[in-house]
């Protein structure tokens, strides 16, 4: 048993910055000695063992996705809350912030635009965009800025019907909204006020896209060309205006930064093991397995979050109604009870039990798209460059100071 309390371990790791550089030693310590404990620093129950993480993700009867953002916003002063009314209204509904039956209804509509056939039909476009971006790279480059950020943003933007010229705004808005969650179960007033302003801009933009499609629909000229068009076609029977706006904004926000950092974290893991990288590039048929191992080994979404619907017992621990529960996906994905030699990046690992995309009714809808983007981007990189190496000391790399999204601020590489 560790002589240091779990709360002290978390606080020290965050304050020193060690958590952001490498959270896995902390996760291992917590998983071994305190797999379920309440953290005042983070603001919720921290779960680090696979069995509890898996259980909570699947148990939508007892653990709710509804009201999670409200739980954060309610921590702010009444003066601050009076300035963020849009955040309250926006996150009260929509795909990621609802339970059954609302969630089932909205997800079933979106699922029609995310079928395997539709996702695979995007492969030529993704391949073209990846190859075009890679062709512009030469010598010393920052992969995050020049490749891994624009590709996912371009694809999700196209999927939702925006133009390439909208890309800078989409990235800016998404970054601001995602900033709400960077402290886990806590929230910064400054971040909330900034997110309110950016969310207003983003919703106005989405509403303009919706209005364009409604006009085409009224003229009987609207085609099922993108996700937003499909939703507008069906909205009269199925979606309110607010549900439509909330859901589309969620898809914009969640659809690209997560893929950016899935790739950034995964490529860094390969660069730190040139022998593994050399093996990976020899056989393109292994790339889907490589992408899966990237997600397990160092995924971009380290935690999920739920609210307890009632007083509950979890593996002998009492959790009160309304408590925030934080299943740490990244810790579960390194649990030695489930994954052999979990701290090893293994190109041959075929265990699909990892939880990087969640599980249960809220499993990531865009996971197949993220996998496809990652596969095509790696192919483009491997085909064009015979040698890729990290152009910095690994210890000097800067990471996002974010509990909800793990990723590098930059990934400097040398390409030959």
pLDDT in tens, 110-139: 888 888 888 888 899 999 999 999 999 999
pLDDT at 401 over 50: yes
Reported confidence tier of residue 1, pLDDT bands at 50, 70, 90: very low
Q: Tell me: pLDDT of 108 over 60.
A: yes
Which two three-digit tokens encode residue 43?
């603001």
Does the pLDDT of residue 356 top 90, yes or no? yes
- Strand, coil or helix: 142: strand
Q: For residue 61, is pLDDT > 50? A: yes
Name the β-bridge partners of 326: 46
- pTM (two decimals): 0.95
pLDDT average, residue stretch 136-154: 96
Residue written as token pair 């507008």: 232
Which pair of structure tokens corresponds to residue 378? 């790696």
Q: What whole-number distance in Å separates Cα of residue 208 and Cα of residue 171?
A: 18
The pLDDT mean for the chain works out to: 93
Residue 405 · residue 261 · CB < 8 Å: yes
Q: CA distances (Å), 252 to each of 30, 206, 213, 307, in order? A: 34, 10, 17, 24
Mean pLDDT on 367-385: 96
Instruction: Name the band, by pLDDT with cuts 50, 70 and 90, for residue 236.
Output: low
Residue 3 pLDDT > 80, yes or no?
A: no
Of 125-129, 148-152, 157-161, 268-272, the one with minimum mean pLDDT is 157-161
Instruction: Report the CATH architecture of 69-300+357-415.
Output: Orthogonal Bundle (1.10)
Residues 157-189: tens digit of each pLDDT: 888 888 889 989 999 999 999 999 999 999 999
Contact 350, 371 (CB under 8 A): no
Position 230 confidence tier, pLDDT thresholds 50, 70, 90: confident
Residue 40 pLDDT level (bands cut at 50, 70, 90): very high
User: Stretch 355-367: mean pLDDT, rounded?
Assistant: 95
Measured over the CA atoms of residue 307, residue 312, residue 313 and residue 318, the dihedral's sign is positive
Burial class (CB in 10 A: 0-12, 13-18, 19+), 1: exposed
| Residue (of 102, 107, 90, 98) closest to 203 by Cα position | 90
Structure tokens at 407: 């990723």
- Token digits of residue 203: 């919703």
Question: Contact 332/48 with Cβ under 8 angstroms?
Answer: yes
Continuous segment of H or E residues that includes residue 191: helix 189-218
- How many other CB atoms are found less than 10 A from the CB of residue 388? 20
């Amino acid at each position: 048993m560790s002589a240091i309390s779990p709360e002290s371990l978390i606080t020290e790791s965050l304050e020193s910055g060690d958590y952001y550089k490498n959270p896995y030693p902390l996760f291992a310590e917590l998983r071994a000695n305190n797999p379920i404990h309440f953290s005042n620093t983070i603001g919720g129950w921290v779960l680090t063992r696979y069995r509890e993480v898996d259980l909570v993700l699947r148990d939508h009867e007892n653990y709710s996705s509804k009201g999670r953002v409200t739980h954060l916003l309610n921590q702010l002063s009444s003066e601050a809350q009076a300035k963020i009314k849009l955040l309250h209204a926006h996150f009260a509904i929509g795909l990621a912030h609802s339970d059954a039956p609302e969630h089932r209804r909205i997800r079933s509509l979106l699922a029609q635009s995310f079928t395997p056939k539709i996702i695979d039909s995007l492969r030529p476009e993704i391949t073209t965009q990846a190859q075009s971006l890679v062709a512009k790279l030469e010598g010393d480059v920052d992969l995050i800025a020049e490749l891994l950020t624009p590709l996912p943003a371009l694809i999700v933007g196209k999927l939702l019907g925006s133009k390439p010229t909208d890309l800078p705004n989409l990235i800016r808005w998404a970054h601001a909204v995602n900033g709400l969650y960077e402290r886990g179960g806590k929230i910064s007033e400054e971040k909330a006020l900034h997110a309110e302003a950016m969310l207003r801009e983003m919703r106005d933009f989405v509403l303009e896209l919706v209005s364009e499609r409604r006009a085409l629909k009224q003229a009987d000229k609207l085609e099922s060309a993108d996700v937003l068009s499909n939703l507008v076609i069906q909205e009269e029977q199925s979606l309110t205006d607010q549900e439509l706006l909330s859901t589309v904004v969620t898809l914009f926000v969640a659809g690209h930064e997560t893929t950016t950092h899935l790739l950034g974290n995964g490529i860094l893991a390969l660069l730190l093991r040139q022998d593994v990288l050399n093996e990976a590039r020899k056989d393109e048929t292994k790339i889907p397995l490589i992408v899966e191992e990237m997600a397990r080994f160092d995924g971009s979404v380290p935690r999920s979050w739920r609210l307890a619907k009632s007083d509950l017992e979890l593996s002998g621990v009492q959790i009160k109604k309304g408590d925030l529960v934080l299943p740490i996906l990244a810790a579960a994905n390194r649990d030695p009870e489930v994954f052999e030699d979990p701290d090893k990046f293994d190109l041959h690992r075929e265990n699909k039990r990892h939880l990087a995309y969640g599980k249960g009714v809220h499993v990531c809808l865009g996971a197949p798209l993220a996998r496809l983007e990652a596969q095509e981007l790696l192919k483009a990189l491997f085909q064009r460059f015979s040698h890729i190496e990290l152009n910095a000391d690994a210890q000097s790399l800067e990471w996002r100071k974010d509990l909800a999204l793990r990723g590098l601020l930059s990934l400097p590489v040398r390409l030959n």
